[in-house]
Every structure is written in structure tokens, then in C-alpha cells.
Amino acid sequence: MKIDLDHVIGTARSWLAQDPDPETRDELAAAIDAAADGSGPAVQALAARFGGRLQFGTAGLRAELGYGPLRMNRVVVTQAAAGLARFLIDTGRSRSVVIGYDGRVNSDVFARDSAEVMRGLGLEVTLLPGALPTPVLAFAVRHLDVGAGVMVTASHNPPRDNGYKVYLGQDDDGSQIVPPVDGEIADAIDAVAAGAITDLPRGTDYTVASSELLDAYVAATAATVAPPALGPEAQPKVVYTAMHGVGWETARAVFAAAGFAEPAVVPEQIEPDGAFPTVSFPNPEEPGAMDLAIARGVAVGADLVIANDPDADRLALAIPDGSGALRRLSGNEVGWLLGWRAAARASEAGTTGTLAASIVSSPALARVAARHGLEYRDTLTGFKWVSRVPGLLFGYEEALGYLVDPEVVRDKDGISAALSLLSLASDLAAAGSSIAGQLDAFAAEFGAFASGQVATRVDDLSRIGEIMASLRSTPPTSLGGLGVLTVTDYVDGVEGFPPSDILRYDLTGDARVIVRPSGTEPKVKVYIDTVAETPADAQRLVDALASSVRPLVS
């Protein structure tokens, strides 16, 4: 397609005129000069940056830092802040917002821009007092009873990314946005983007929250567990890593307030650092991300290694494997343990309610709920759905997200989940057991479950549609030697679910395979779940199913 050079350069110059950031201004000015000289690659590169704009959705915004409407920068963030403010005003919601930010590059700048623009448009604005975990922001939305919350974070994305996550308060109870609200906010942002951000009023008389807000989160989170069953010297030995994120100071305060001994830390990763120098991808799920933490755990003889992701809304756990090494538990294994604990506590208290997990998480939690006389609910992927389940007692998703007390935070919270695991490990140690022993007990009680994943990354996004279309036109009749009993296609909506690009295969032997495009990466993802008499048998089934489905999604 032929590029209209004059139009591209004109659009780029209009953007340059309103960009307040010297770094992105210099980059864009250089790109305009290069394109104006008629260089083909320079023209194409500039046109690519202005060939659309970031789409605001249920995950808000998330992209690499850089100039132009398809990157995260001060212009895009200011437009988003003004659009959200106008949405709150136009829909008659509370004209109040709380804004938080993590330790990534420009998170503090984006947060202050948002505060000034929203205040300039007449909102009551509270800015958190420093770089803090996402769960603290989610807590603040409810604690301050505001209309909305904004968290500037890219969570566990690559180092050069940043993002913008939105929560709604009051009737939405501090949960992340869901349709159709995301579309309404996106429309408001587009209306703002039709003008220049230099025309937006700004105000600097916003409120910076005091330390009392963080103290309230610490106290509320510490109160979610009973005092430890063992004294500090007898408690399980723990290693903690913040993975260059903002979790440590808040986690340390929570652990201390609840009566738990301070963990040993991974010193190279304990302070916030937006460059993430020791990891190529700051996601505890990624190979190698927990290597330093596990090495530290082996060195000190740890019973638990706990890792938060950079904004501390996710948690990963490693435990001794019996051979002197440590193994990382899957998100499902941690979810089983925390869900079982929540169900047992509900039974002891005579409490009714619901356990919930995303549809791609293990079906084991449904068996726990049935055994304890509780309701169970599958949701679409994402905590924006899990957190909205009525009567929720506990919810999780296999991607390391856990909601252990909906009365404190209506979102995944890696700090409260870490505290719950410390409490569980202490109780087990007092009874002469361990996390590993509890996993064995779970298998004996509910069956030996195992899970696995297959993912295909694509260079051409159209390939994702082709893979899903092929599976629909020629559905498999068997996978991994197991017969396909039913195929459920969510594309037109299934009871309790909106239309979604998901295929589910229920197999003989209570096995299950789910296929869906990733919501954040250019991938097709396959989720495999099995149950058998022993963990080894269940894992063999997972491996066989993985081998069977891999050619279907490649």
C-alpha cells in the first residue's frame, strides 16, 4: 500500500507539537527528519508508528515505551486520563479517583500527568505516596470509596513496557473494568485524542495519600490469617524475591504485622529497578526468572521460596523436592492448596459461598467445592471476571493470580497470597507436615491432578485465526489416545459466558483440553488438565496430550 508521506509527516508533526516529553520529542523529531529525506525504511517506520492507536480494553493499555499513538508515552497517558475523567463525569459516577504506580520507567511521570489532568477536569484526585504494589491501589479504591482507580504498571511484561489499568469503585466494588464499560471509556479517550492535550486544563492541588492508607492495607491483610502456630525461630525458613519490583517493603510490613519471621531475601532483586537487570523477562512463570531465588533458597536451606512479580499482584512458590533441590509449583498447585484451605475454613465457620477459577485453570477446585458443600463457578480468563463472582470466598487463575480475601481486595493479590502460604506452612509444620505433604494429602483426598500448556507464537497475527478456524472445521475425535466426548465452542456464547474465541474438548477419563488465543501476546495457547490414580500417571497423560495437540496448533 502506497504511503501518503505528506499526511504521515503532518500527523507526526501534530503529535510532536503536543508531546511534553523531551526524550520522545527528540526521537520523533529525528524520525520525521529521516522520513522527510525520502528514505524508504524511515518513511515506513514512521508510518507504522502512526498507523493506528493503542486500543483501550478490559486490560486498559499496555505497550512498549516510545513515541506515537501505538506506544506508551505521556501523550497517550494524558489522553487516557482525560477520557476516563470524562467517562466518570458523563455517566454520573463519583467524580473521584485514586492513582497508583509501580517502579517501571516513567510510571511516576504517567501517574502525575494523570493526577494533574484529572484534577484539572474537576475530579477529586488522590495520588499514592510512592511506588507501591497494585493490590494497594485496588485496596485504596474501596477504602477511599472513590469512583475509579488507576494503576500505572505493566505487571510482569518485558522491561521496556508500561501500562494503564483501571478499576471502578462503589457499585463495582473495586474490580477491574469489564465490557461494555471498556468500550465507553475507549470512546471517551478517542474524543479527547481528536484534540490536543495542550488544550486540557491541569491542576496540581491533588491530594497525596498519607502513610495511613498503606497502614490500613497492611492491617487488613495481616488480619486475614490467624497468629502463626509456631514462634519465629520454629517457623519454616523462607526466601523472598521482589523480582526488581515494588513488593518487598509492603510484604515485609504485612508479614511482621501478622507475626511471621522476616524472610531472607534475594539482594540482587529486592529493590525496585525498571531496568530489571537480572532477568530478561520479569515474570516468575518464565524459564530462568526464579533462578536467583531458587539458588538463594538452596543456599539457606529454605522450606519455601516466594516470588512476587514486579507489581506484586502475582505469586510463585518453590519448595524442596526431596533431593536437595527446589521445584517451582504450578499456579494450579498453589491454587488447589489455597482453595482447599479456604474451603476448610468456611466449613469450620459454617460459611456458605463460592469458589471460582478462570476456565483455563484446573478443574480440581470444583471438586474441592463439591466436597465441602460450596458453590463453584468457572469464569473467563482474567481477574476482572473472577473478582465479580457473587458470594466469592476464594478465586484464582493458573497464571499465578490468587484472591484469598475478597473483603480486602477485589483483585489478585500476591502479598495476601504469600501471607496465606506462610500461615499454611506454619500450621503444617506444627502438625509435622509440609507443603509437599499437603500436596500428597490433596491427591489422596481429591485425586491426582496434573496440568500442562502448549503455546505457539506467531509472526503473522492472521495465523491465529487460521489455527482456530481449522480446529472448528475439522475437530479432533481423539487426543493423546483419549476419546473426545464433547466439543464446546464459546464463539457464539455459552450459558454464563459472553461470546469468546475458546474451544474446549472434554475427554474420556475426566481429561480436558482448552484452546484459545492469548489476550496479551501473539500466541495460541493450549491448556491441558488430567486426573489419575497417581501424580505420575496424571503427568504421563498430560505429556501424551501435549504431543497430540502440538501439531494442531503449529
The catalytic residues are: 155
State the Cα–Cα distance between residues 547 and 509, nearest whole angstrom. Answer: 18
Q: Is the peptide bond before 406 cis (omega within 30 degrees of 0)?
A: no
Q: Which three cell numbers stand for residue 304?
A: 519455601
Within the chain, what is the greatest distance between any pair of CA atoms?
Answer: 75
Backbone angles phi, psi at 168, to 5 degrees: -115, 140
In order of 362, 366, 463, 518, 525, the CA distances from 456 in angstroms are: 21, 29, 10, 10, 7
- What is the secondary structure of 19-32 as a DSSP string? ---HHHHHHHHHHH
Quick check: 314 and 155 in contact, CB under 8 A?
A: yes
Edge-to-edge strand ranges of the sheet holding 238-241: 264-265, 238-241, 304-308, 315-320, 326-328
CA distance 111 to 353: 37
The CA angle 120-124-125, to the nearest 5 degrees, is: 80
CA dihedral sign of residues 335, 384, 62, 245 = negative
Task: Extract the C-alpha cell encoding 398.
Answer: 493458573
As beta bridge partners, residue 168 has 148, 175
Rounded Cα distance, 404 and 259, in Å: 18
The one-letter code for the residue type at 58 is T
334 is written with which cell numbers? Answer: 498453589
What does the alpha-carbon distance between residue 183 and residue 443 come to, in Å, rounded to a whole number?
Answer: 44
